Structure 1
Amino acid sequence: MNLVARRVLPPVVLGVVALVIWQATVTVLAIPELVLPSPSAILAETLAYLPVLVSAALVTGWNALVGLVIGSVLGIALALVAANARVFDELTVPLVAALAVIPIVALAPVLYTMFGADLQSARQVVAGISVFVPVFLNTLRGLRQTRPVHRDLMRAYAATRRQAMRTVTLPTARPFIFTGLRIASSLSVIAALVAEYFGGPRGGLGTFITASVAGSDYARAWSYVLASIVLGLIFYLAALAVETLALRRRPA
């Protein structure tokens, strides 16, 4: 059995066993759909509303992607500045800590008032803030991992600060940066999804989940939850693929 099969097969088998147990439990115990729909009912709703699921996932995915790109760029850029300017570092770290504890449930309605309830901008901002924090903190930590002996060696070679950053500091920080991006990839989807619960234009997965629950269509609501899980996995796997490709191309 090759390495890929050893990694993929166990979670697939575990997932199938969990679904079988889930279906059997709901059927034998006659659990009402209000409490827990069966996997077969969720699958039926997923197939019936597949075009709507795809359309809603594209809306949520776009908001998450915009937030992921903007938050990541700002997080990496400000971490580079903070790593090279101690005063800026002392000013930004407390602010980042404050951003980390801002609840989305309180932030989203305020942003809808600022940007307008008919625009997706508020959801993108919420996703960007959620992404910024882990990317900034992980990047800053990575930039501080350069050993003093390496810095002294670059000074001995009369390397400029830019050369030292390009040849020593950034390669050392690269694994930390990609760790932050992997964490942020899932957070961007979660943040965009949660922001959809508190108003704004219809069309995203979050709005359809709330509408389905309000209409007592619980199996349909779970189908939208399933689409959200798939969307989050796509973002995470995409970030993992970019990390793998970048590390493979890293020079020795």
Structure 2
Amino acid sequence: MTTLRLRTVLAPIVFGIAVVLVWQLLVTAFPAKGSALPAPFTIAGQFAASTGVIVQASLGTAANALVGLVVGTLVAVVLAVLAAAWRPLDELSAPVVTALSVIPIVALAPVFYAMFGASVETGRQMIAAIAVLVPVYVNTLRGLRTVDPLHRDLLRSYAAGRWQTARTVTVPGAVPFLFTGVRIASSLAVISALVAEYFGGPVSGLGKAITSAVSSSNYALAWAFVLGAIVTGLVFYCATALLETLALARLRPTG
């Protein structure tokens, strides 16, 4: 088991190092003047030289993504609980959720900036929340309905009420599905908040920083900001994965 886990961890790391080395060799062997794709070592050097600016921009994007993740998750869970309890609501909400899943961010951003003003972060946070809502809602609703009929019949034979059934069977069974949705949504929140920054709003965050660097042809700096976005997304994903592990450990029966 330990060897298997070690392979699972080392395999992507080794593959990533190999990709970076090949990238470095290709850029070094075939240099192109004014290339928009600098060598990875150049990007790493720029990242180290601009760490403070990158961290500040990452925090701006992360703040909007976090607000969107929390708000979107809360709304999605409430809607999923209501839809699981009342079938007509599920049928009514299905087309709306489907529509939300295909709305492009490039269409939402200008509309929200016009509604709430371009000087506040509300538009970016709402875009992140909408991106989060769909996967969390779908997974939570599926979890609430994935209950072993044998367990439900057993509780019914013991005259358990709806609250007891929900507390002992339905909710524990839905928690893994909920966290699967949250893990997926954590990355979407960062991506959505970042993309929304391209279309106006306060001059903060990684999206604005990337466009500013590209407009001045400082491609190494632009890729350094992209690296900052990757790190931000990984932090969100790992944090939600840790929360999932802790929550499932608390729900796991002992003895």
**What is the CA-CA distance between 1:147 and the residue it aligns to?**
2.3
Q: 1:32 to 1:161 in 2, by over 3 A?
A: farther
> Residue 22 in 1 paired to residue 23 in 2?
yes
> Residue 185 in 1 paired to residue 198 in 2?
no
Alignment of 1:79-90 (within 5 A): 79-90=80-91
Deviations 1:86-129 (A, max 9, x none): 12111111111111111100000000011110101100000000
Q: Which moved further from structure 2: 185-194 or 171-180?
A: 171-180
**What amino acid is the match of 1:236?**
Y
Aligned structure 1 segments of 4 or more residues deviating by more than 6 angstroms: none
Q: What is aligned with 2:165?
A: 164
Deviations 1:48-95 (A, max 9, x none): 211000000000000000000000011111101100011211111111
Alignment of 1:1-252 (within 5 A): 2=3, 4-252=5-253
TM-score (structure 2 length as normaliser): 0.95
For structure 1, the residue ranges without an aligned partner over 5 or more in a row are none
**What amino acid is the match of 1:207?**
K
Q: Which moved further from structure 2: 203-212 or 35-44?
A: 35-44
**What is the CA-CA distance between 1:13 and the residue it aligns to?**
1.8
**What is the CA-CA distance between 1:14 and the residue it aligns to?**
1.7
Q: Distance in 2 between matches of 1:24 and 1:154?
A: 64
Deviations 1:217-244 (A, max 9, x none): 1111100000000000000011111111
**What is the CA-CA distance between 1:198 and the residue it aligns to?**
0.6
SS in 2 for 1:249: helix
SS in 2 for 1:201: coil
Deviations 1:110-161 (A, max 9, x none): 0001111010110000000000000000000111111222222222222111
**What amino acid is the match of 1:49?**
S
Q: Distance in 2 between matches of 1:103 and 1:224?
A: 23
Q: Distance in 1 between matches of 2:8 and 2:151?
A: 37
**What is the CA-CA distance between 1:11 and the residue it aligns to?**
1.9
**What is the CA-CA distance between 1:32 and the residue it aligns to?**
3.6
Q: Which moved further from structure 2: 35-44 or 134-143?
A: 35-44
**What amino acid is the match of 2:10?**
L
**What is the CA-CA distance between 1:18 and the residue it aligns to?**
1.4
Q: Distance in 2 between matches of 1:10 and 1:84?
A: 44
**What is the CA-CA distance between 1:3 and the residue it aligns to?**
5.4
**What is the CA-CA distance between 1:17 and the residue it aligns to?**
1.6
Q: 1:251 to 1:11 in 2, by over 3 A?
A: closer
Identity %: 54
Q: 1:122 to 1:211 in 2, by over 3 A?
A: same
TM-score (structure 1 length as normaliser): 0.96
Aligned residues: 252
**What amino acid is the match of 1:28?**
A
**What is the CA-CA distance between 1:4 and the residue it aligns to?**
5.0
Q: Distance in 1 between matches of 2:134 and 2:34?
A: 39
**What amino acid is the match of 2:92?**
L
Q: Distance in 1 between matches of 2:95 and 2:148?
A: 26
Q: 1:251 to 1:22 in 2, by over 3 A?
A: closer
**What is the CA-CA distance between 1:251 and the residue it aligns to?**
3.5
**What amino acid is the match of 1:175?**
P
Aligned CA-pair RMSD: 1.3
